[in-house]
Structure 1
Amino acid sequence: MSLPASFLDDVKRLIPADRRFDDPLSTLAFGTDASFYRLIPKLVIRVESEEEVVTLLKLAQVDRVPVTFRAAGTSLSGQAISDSVLIVLGDNWNGREVRREGEQIRLQPGVIGAQANAWLAPFGRKIGPDPASINAAKIGGIVANNSSGMCCGTAQNTYHTLAGIRLVLADGTRIDTEDAQSVAAFRASHGPLLERLRELGRETRANPELAAKIRHKYRLKNTTGLSLNALVDFEEPLDILSHLLVGSEGTLGFISAVTYDTVLDHPNKASALIVFPDVETCCNAVTVLKTQPVSAVELLDRRSMRSVQNKPGMPAFVRELSENACALLIEARAATQPMLHEQLAQIMASIAHFPVEKQVDFTEDPAENARLWAIRKDTFPAVGAVRETGTTVIIEDVTFPVEQLAIGVRRLIELFEKHHYDEAILFGHALEGNLHFVFTQGFNDPEEIARYSAFMDDVTQLVAVEFNGSLKAEHGTGRNMAPFVELEWGSDAYQLMWQLKRLLDPNGILNPDVVLSEDPQIHLKHLKPMPAADAIVDKCIECGFCEPVCPSKGLTLSPRQRIVIWRDIQAKKRAGTDTTDLERDYHYQGIETCAATGLCAQRCPVGINTGELVKKLRGQEATHGRTADWLAHHFTTALKGARFTLHAANGARMLLGAPRLAKISAALTKASSGRVPLWTPAMPQPENAIRFNPPVDDQRPRVVYLAACVSRVMGPAAADHEQMSLMDKTRGLLEKAGYQVVFPDDQDSLCCGQPFASKGYAAQAEEKRQQLLAALTNASRGGLDPIYCDTSPCTLRLVQDLKDTRLDLYDPVRFIRTHLLDKLEFTPQQEAIAVHVTCSTQHLGESQALIELARLCSVNVVIPEGIHCCGFAGDKGFTTPELNAHSLRTLKDAVQYCSEGISTSRTCEIGLTQHGGIDYHGLVYLVDRVTRPRTA
């Protein structure tokens, strides 16, 4: 059925066209969350204000239009998708207010969980929930799912750390529990609703059997059904209402702000890995550890350890463990080191009597800690990475009473064997009896669906009936467990949930079939296809972890959405469906506006670089091979042409004036679909070719200076207060530190190949790369001298897959920190400095080093929030300027008090200067300014 015309007309008047999506590509892209379900919305609306949400809900009520709210879409149980109207959060939901030295924080629903913790870190505090998806999940989803995590337990989830909440109910009414006027107005307008909540609470507490069941259920980790504990924990109706919304998965209202009581984030921590000979011993140790000062205890069965045993950095003994081995990864935290050591001794003494097969003793070394936790964190993606193409990865999430954990684990393993899920692994938050099991599942034929259905029937019977546990500990009910809520809770509790749903959403418009459903087969419907698309991306599990770092997310598509659409195009082609329109739209949304810098791969649990797929597709579209060959073989001439173009642009600026030229250029760029590059006041002036000086025979150590082609062509912008070129500044700094600077021969003919690679000309790119490496080998006397590259993207391209281990290649950050710190004396400046960490710097592992170098140079360093990639992407800032503008849309406000910005990529600095409103320079400018040669 289509949406009512009257509703659509009203929505058109309310929401601008650029925030309404009903085309096939967009609705499919948004019809995907991290679960194994898919629904295609008829309309997607990006909302930017609470007022819009209020009006939309009122319109939806009039026409009985179902709506679903979506934050990050990292939910695993199908609660963030819709076949009606999907309302997604736009940019303007990132507000925060830190209170009382971090003891409380008020957050809007668009804030990413990890960002909230970054704001709290200076106070030694954090929010209680710590889901594995915290780097991508947003507060709206964390609250709506009552997410928890490894250290959170039951005591520190949103429900138990909630200090206040602001809601929009299904009828469009707002209530802010921290605002006395709002509360008074709500009591006046919704007195009967509040009174009914009071009555339901009174009736529930007066029913001993029901109240006892609720208390038992929430002694465990439990997100199955609505939060009935609100009715036994509170008497005040507003408290009941507030806590009912926690874990309601968008079925009772919209959460527009939440205030947390934060928890301590102790700085001293240590981890140990202890492997027991069998599951029983392991689980008995958990029962003991429950009484000890531990912050996390993660259980890993033998299968889960086997799934990661061949990964680099894994302890060798993992491969040799016995068949029945079961491990605990234990973490302890404390305010001071002596207190931590006291805790560690107490913990080890408490379990000393248990037989142990292998163990890694408690370590406080951060690198070793990370290595141990990688065992746990890599298990889920490890299963995803080896699954058969076309299948999906399912992660289920149950809780057994901790005293029955051993038998629960055994029984679950028996069910894996019974239903032939041979690859299934088991791990979890052992202190809470919370187990995750991961398995792969195809939904391509009825037999596979029947196998899954029979397995789920057995699992639900085992957990909910035999053990009186919870079917969803922390992933939310969704549509996955909606048919089993009554099985777990019993008829009385189930009917009570329906009473609450109908009280707060009488017309049933909020996220139907999620949490509560009258369809007993809803968990077997709308199953997501995972068709083969390309080997580069076939292992994608569509979790969405990649999305926060993507510069095009919100402009066009995110990496997850690029993969979703490409999968659909390939499936349609195989089915004989015409994909002309879809491919035309995908060309711009998927290919043209991808920065292809590969930051997505750093966040991806299975290491997928969506940029590699895009480069491959660009290669298939690349039809100017002869031109690319000519440019590769006549690179010196090409650079002369580039300098001439910049001369011409600079002449036009002097003739027309910067404002008029910028206006004309913008029109030409738009009219030519990016073929005419965009001119802005940040456009560089032409740089002169390198003045080559032959090496002199002196006693100074030599360094080979590789000036990137952009550095050799692009000088400072005319309006830049710093008019010395990057090459001259770099050379001066290196000589100040006592180096003799030498250049490769015939440098103007050299290039790392990056411009060719980004356009899809892989062969020409590799030819240029090999030519450059040969020149560097010669210039460095066979690798005797270090090689300094002044641009981090070029350094990254050169060191990737570098087989000649003799070459000692450095980007600016690594060279300065390893070779110049002991040769220069730093006097930090007072003026604030903005730091942009380029994508290549992140890939090179030098992000923190760049920030620390900046802090050596300035007492006030600003790292703008939420900007992971500038989106300039080589020449995209010239040809697709909207990508650069979108990525840096928040930069100007973030750097308004800074005197200068620094980076390590000349092209990135053009866009950063334009959109930041301050001059951005290479790191060497700052280092040179605040240093002098160190005297002996």
Structure 2
Amino acid sequence: MVTSASPLIQPTKSRVVGKDLRALLGVEKVLDDVPALTAYAVDASIYRVPPQAVVLVESEDDITATVGYAVSRGIPLTPRAAGTNLTGSAIGSGIILDVSRMNRILEVNQEERWARVQPGIVLAELNKQLSSCGLLFGPDPSSGDMCKLGGMIANNSSGPHTLRYGSVKDNVQGLRLCLASSSWMEARSYALNDPTLERLLTSVPALRDVLVLTQAHAELIAAKQPTVSKNSCGYNLFGIADGLMRGAFDVPKLFVGSEGTLGIVSEATLMLMEKPAATLTALIHFRSLEEVGEAVPQLLTLQPSALEVMDANTLNLIGRGQHGIPADAAATLLVELDADSLDVDLHEKADAMRDICRRYKLASELTVAFDATQREQLWKARKALYPTLYRFDSRKKPINFVDDVVVPAERISELIRYLEEFFGGQEVPVAIFGHIGNGNAHIVPLLDVNDSGDFQKMVQAYQEIHATVLNRFGGSICGEHGDGRVRAEFVKTMFGEELYDLFVQVKHAFDPGHILNPGIKLSETPFTDHIDYTRLSKSCATCAKCNSVCPVYDVFQSEDMSARGWFEIVTAKDYSYLNSKRVVESCLNCKSCRTICPAGVDVSDLILKKRAEHPNRLAGWIFRSQARGATFGSCVRFLGRTQQIWDRPFVRKVIEWITAPLMKALAPTARFPHDLSLPKLAQQHLRERYAHLIP
């Protein structure tokens, strides 16, 4: 029954795109209904951009057909994996190409330590499979339990253990890509005198253009290369130039970190590492930021695999008392050291760390843990950060817009001091944390962007902090999260007009029609365009942690069949039960989303309330009948006694035909098939059969 509160949303012109794609790929691989477009309009960023259609690709043929169609029609094409990025690069106004169903591990070479995988494989699942071989893929972003390899390649992700493993660009041997021309390319590192390279340059003219361009502007590229240890801003011509100096054309370096703007990845060959034989974790509370700055270079001599920092503001936000953090701690360091073999004595390194720490007046004794459970306990405060930020204030939310700056590691305490003073002047709560060993700081202010004052503070902070990172610290505006929509307008400022023009030429060479993820990486559009002000006032952070435990998403691998997608669908201002019934009725109400959600959102409860507004009458009748024990028991006994009559092929076909409308009312796909093998129904209730046992 249609109520006035549930308007039927009419199809839009996007149906034309969906119709064309269904003809190309099949009905099951294309989505263009309102709920699906609503779910795919967001990722983990602050933006919302509704697409025209979504393609759930399952093969390279699907990718080829989709790319060819998008280019021929001039429709923007945005590749998407888990949608966990913070910059808005997984959403777009045209066609979303979701690679989640391409999620297989194709090959593992244990001896040579490499694996060939598809882009839809989840990092945690990949490492779970590799664990049995004693191997792992090193880069470990904090979203590792839900992020997928395609997105990691797009962003050049890294994580806490970058000191040991490097970023994705350091761990990719080869890529297989579909270009805007719909042709396919094998990208790997080629010796400049390799005949295979010449054939590749002939078949892919854009690649020759990049080679010539890089050689011709080698001095400019070298002069503009960031001197910090991490950078994902702009196209990585620096990696190409470094390779040429060694006599190699390292093609994957160009595509890793390009955010889907140059080609679509269908396979990646990854370099693997042996799992550490042993690990220690240490927690150090410093009384001053200056001492942190002095201690970091000394701690780096111990070759830590991870070196993380949380500043005083962050410690206040997560609750010092709750996590046993001293009141006078100005910053906390987490240090992790690995042993490649059991011959390495980590206790000696722990003693060396204690010697370093004795030079400072710590806020408390150094804590060292070797046991896995104890080490996990030391990480507890760091991992509690995001949940606390999401629940800190009902109006002010953690906003990612200056979240990924990099400065020289020895100057990060100076950066933190500057940031604390800057946001203190703005009277804005802020969490400052990150990978201090690389000088990579994550800055997350809490703002109400629907408030004009807070909005202006955001714009001011965006300009001033990025400019300060470049001019005062000689750093980078982007270490591991990608440029996306949020930093694209600042890329020209970071590298200057000349190098930016080279980036534009690279983009044009591979994508002359600007179809592949336009507006991402290179753009002059203000970062405030497409901010989703309505969503930023809601409780959900769209981080997708819920998707990692959602059993329905695990089966369908589609955003409209996921906890995050359902939240977007049922809280949309134009929500309609009639349009959304297909997806709303799919939730199993398992509560896994509520358990894992950093913000404490219970998506299943929202779904149940929406269902309650439109109860299923047939289902209600069935459950009421069950509640009447005597009546229900009589019906079952009757069916049992007459089963020999009605459970025959011809009669079953008649029953299937008669019950079809009733079953459809129960659920769109429900039916009582005539060839379904049924158990023999009891002719007596257990109470009747064993009456003598009942007192």
Q: TM-score range by the shorter chain?
A: 0.7 to 0.9
Aligned partner of 1:222 among 212, 231, 234 = 231
Task: Give the direction of change, closer, same or farther, for the CA distance of 1:633–1:161 in structure 2 (3 Å limit).
Answer: closer
1:343: how far off?
Answer: 2.6
Task: Give the direction of change, closer, same or farther, for the CA distance of 1:621–1:185 in structure 2 (3 Å limit).
Answer: same
Q: Which amino acid aligns with 1:655?
A: R
**Counterpart position of 2:84:** 74
Task: Give the direction of change, closer, same or farther, for the CA distance of 1:175–1:474 in structure 2 (3 Å limit).
Answer: same
Q: Which amino acid aligns with 1:195?
A: R
Aligned partner of 2:579 among 580, 585, 592 = 585
What SS does the aligned partner of 1:464 have?
helix
**Counterpart position of 1:253:** 263
**Counterpart position of 2:494:** 488
- How many residue pairs get aligned? The number is 668
Q: Which amino acid aligns with 1:689?
A: L
Map Cα deviations across residues 799-824 of structure 1 (whole Å, 9 max, x no partner).
Answer: xxxxxxxxxxxxxxxxxxxxxxxxxx
The reply on whether 1:563 has 2:567 as its aligned counterpart is yes
Preserved CA contact (<8 Å) 1:394 1:440:
no
The reply on whether 1:139 has 2:145 as its aligned counterpart is no
Task: Give the direction of change, closer, same or farther, for the CA distance of 1:689–1:84 in structure 2 (3 Å limit).
Answer: same
Map Cα deviations across residues 212-246 of structure 1 (whole Å, 9 max, x no partner).
Answer: 431x44x4221111112222222299844321100
1:602: how far off?
Answer: 3.7
Map Cα deviations across residues 124-163 of structure 1 (whole Å, 9 max, x no partner).
Answer: 2111210111111111101111110111248522211111
Q: Which amino acid aligns with 1:331?
A: E
1:16 & 1:147 partners in 2: Cα distance?
Answer: 34
1:589 & 1:310 partners in 2: Cα distance?
Answer: 42
Map Cα deviations across residues 93-112 of structure 1 (whole Å, 9 max, x no partner).
Answer: 42421113471011110111
**Counterpart position of 1:189:** 203
Task: Note the 1:358-507 alignment, pairs <5 A.
Answer: 358-359=364-365, 361-389=367-395, 391=397, 393-394=399-400, 396-422=403-429, 424-507=430-513
Q: Which amino acid aligns with 1:418?
A: G
1:91 & 1:326 partners in 2: Cα distance?
Answer: 43
1:387: how far off?
Answer: 2.7
Q: Percent identity?
A: 26
1:198: how far off?
Answer: 2.2
Superposition misfits of 4+ residues, deviation over 6 angstroms: 2-9, 178-184, 623-630, 657-666, 690-694
Preserved CA contact (<8 Å) 2:616 2:666:
no
What SS does the aligned partner of 2:400 have?
strand
1:370 & 1:596 partners in 2: Cα distance?
Answer: 30
Runs of at least 5 residues in structure 1 that lack an aligned partner in the other structure: 573-578, 695-742, 747-936
**Counterpart position of 1:108:** 118
Preserved CA contact (<8 Å) 1:344 1:362:
yes
The reply on whether 1:211 has 2:215 as its aligned counterpart is no
1:310 & 1:644 partners in 2: Cα distance?
Answer: 65
**Counterpart position of 2:686:** 689
Preserved CA contact (<8 Å) 1:646 1:684:
no
What SS does the aligned partner of 1:486 have?
helix
Preserved CA contact (<8 Å) 1:273 1:328:
yes
Q: Which amino acid aligns with 2:216?
A: E
1:587: how far off?
Answer: 3.3
1:413: how far off?
Answer: 1.0
**Counterpart position of 1:701:** none
1:595 & 1:645 partners in 2: Cα distance?
Answer: 32
Q: Which amino acid aligns with 1:614?
A: I
1:181 & 1:689 partners in 2: Cα distance?
Answer: 80
Task: Give the direction of change, closer, same or farther, for the CA distance of 1:181–1:47 in structure 2 (3 Å limit).
Answer: farther
1:359: how far off?
Answer: 3.6
1:645: how far off?
Answer: 8.6
1:271 & 1:653 partners in 2: Cα distance?
Answer: 69
What SS does the aligned partner of 1:568 have?
coil
**Counterpart position of 1:612:** 605
What SS does the aligned partner of 1:454 have?
helix
Task: Give the direction of change, closer, same or farther, for the CA distance of 1:328–1:392 in structure 2 (3 Å limit).
Answer: closer
Task: Give the direction of change, closer, same or farther, for the CA distance of 1:220–1:29 in structure 2 (3 Å limit).
Answer: same
Q: Which amino acid aligns with 1:68?
A: T
Q: Given the two structures, how large is their TM-score scaled by the length of structure 1?
A: 0.65
Q: Given the two structures, how large is their TM-score scaled by the length of structure 2?
A: 0.86
1:116 & 1:561 partners in 2: Cα distance?
Answer: 24
Task: Note the 1:546-695 alignment, pairs <5 A.
Answer: 546-553=546-553, 554=556, 556-569=560-573, 582-590=576-584, 592-622=585-615, 636-637=629-630, 640=633, 644=637, 647=640, 654-656=647-649, 667=660, 671-674=664-667, 689=686
What SS does the aligned partner of 2:361 have?
coil
1:301 & 1:636 partners in 2: Cα distance?
Answer: 63
Preserved CA contact (<8 Å) 1:631 1:638:
no
What SS does the aligned partner of 2:533 have?
coil
What SS does the aligned partner of 2:132 have?
helix
Q: Which amino acid aligns with 1:528?
A: D
Q: Which amino acid aligns with 1:220?
A: S
> Aligned-residue CA RMSD in angstroms?
3.7
**Counterpart position of 2:3:** none
1:388 & 1:659 partners in 2: Cα distance?
Answer: 57
1:72: how far off?
Answer: 0.8
Preserved CA contact (<8 Å) 1:175 1:183:
no
**Counterpart position of 1:297:** 307
1:367: how far off?
Answer: 2.4
**Counterpart position of 2:298:** 288
Preserved CA contact (<8 Å) 1:532 1:567:
no
| Higher alpha-carbon deviation: 455-464 or 339-348 | 339-348
Between 1 and 2, higher relative CO (CA 8 Å, sep ≥ 6) is seen in 2
1:18 & 1:626 partners in 2: Cα distance?
Answer: 28
Task: Give the direction of change, closer, same or farther, for the CA distance of 1:138–1:625 in structure 2 (3 Å limit).
Answer: closer
Aligned partner of 1:331 among 336, 349, 373 = 336
Preserved CA contact (<8 Å) 1:102 1:120:
no
2:667 & 2:19 partners in 1: Cα distance?
Answer: 34
Map Cα deviations across residues 540-592 of structure 1 (whole Å, 9 max, x no partner).
Answer: 101112213323333653111111122213xx5xxxxxx5xx232223322x1
Preserved CA contact (<8 Å) 1:198 1:237:
no
Aligned partner of 2:357 among 351, 361, 377 = 351
Task: Give the direction of change, closer, same or farther, for the CA distance of 1:662–1:169 in structure 2 (3 Å limit).
Answer: farther
**Counterpart position of 1:233:** 242
Map Cα deviations across residues 392-431 of structure 1 (whole Å, 9 max, x no partner).
Answer: 6436111111111111110011121122212x11111111
**Counterpart position of 1:273:** 283
What SS does the aligned partner of 2:484 have?
coil
Preserved CA contact (<8 Å) 1:197 1:241:
no
Task: Give the direction of change, closer, same or farther, for the CA distance of 1:666–1:499 in structure 2 (3 Å limit).
Answer: farther
1:6 & 1:630 partners in 2: Cα distance?
Answer: 43
**Counterpart position of 1:321:** 327
Preserved CA contact (<8 Å) 1:28 1:565:
yes
1:645 & 1:417 partners in 2: Cα distance?
Answer: 77
Task: Give the direction of change, closer, same or farther, for the CA distance of 1:277–1:90 in structure 2 (3 Å limit).
Answer: closer
What SS does the aligned partner of 2:561 have?
coil
2:247 & 2:645 partners in 1: Cα distance?
Answer: 69
Task: Give the direction of change, closer, same or farther, for the CA distance of 1:47–1:185 in structure 2 (3 Å limit).
Answer: farther
**Counterpart position of 1:776:** none
1:628: how far off?
Answer: 9.4
Task: Give the direction of change, closer, same or farther, for the CA distance of 1:64–1:630 in structure 2 (3 Å limit).
Answer: closer
Runs of at least 5 residues in structure 2 that lack an aligned partner in the other structure: 1-11
